[in-house]
Amino acid sequence: MKLALYQGPSPAGDLEAAFARIEMLLSSAARAGAGMLLLPELFLPGYNQPTLLPNWLQPLDGPCMARMVGLARAAGCGVRFGWAERHGGALYNAASAIVPDGALLAHYRKIQLFGAMEHAASQPGTTAPPVFDLHGRRIGLLICYDIEFPQHAAGLARRGADLLLVPTANPAGFAHVPQALVPAHAHESRMIVAYANRCGAEGGLSYGGGSVIAGPDGLPLAMAGRSETLIICDLPAFGDWPGSALSARDRSVIRSAERR
Active site residues: 41, 110, 144
Tell me which residue of 141, 148, 172, 156 sits closest to 39, measured CA to CA. 141
Evaluate whether 220 touches 233 at the Cβ level (below 8 Å). no
Output the DSSP codes for 139-162.
Answer: EEE--GGGGGSHHHHHHHHHTT--
Is the bond preceding 216 in cis, omega lying within 30 degrees of 0?
A: no
First-to-last alpha carbon distance for the chain, in angstroms, is 33
Residue type, 204: G
Residue type, 63: P
Vertex 243 angle, CA 240 and 246, to 5°? 110
Task: Give bridge partners of residue 171 from the DSSP assignment.
Answer: 207
Measured between alpha carbons, how far is 164 from 141 in angstroms, rounded to an integer?
6
H helical segments located in 15-173: 15-31, 53-56, 63-75, 115-121, 150-158
**β-strands 131-134, 229-234: how paired?**
unpaired
Output the DSSP codes for 195-223.
Answer: EE-B-SEETTEEB----EEE-TTS-EEEE
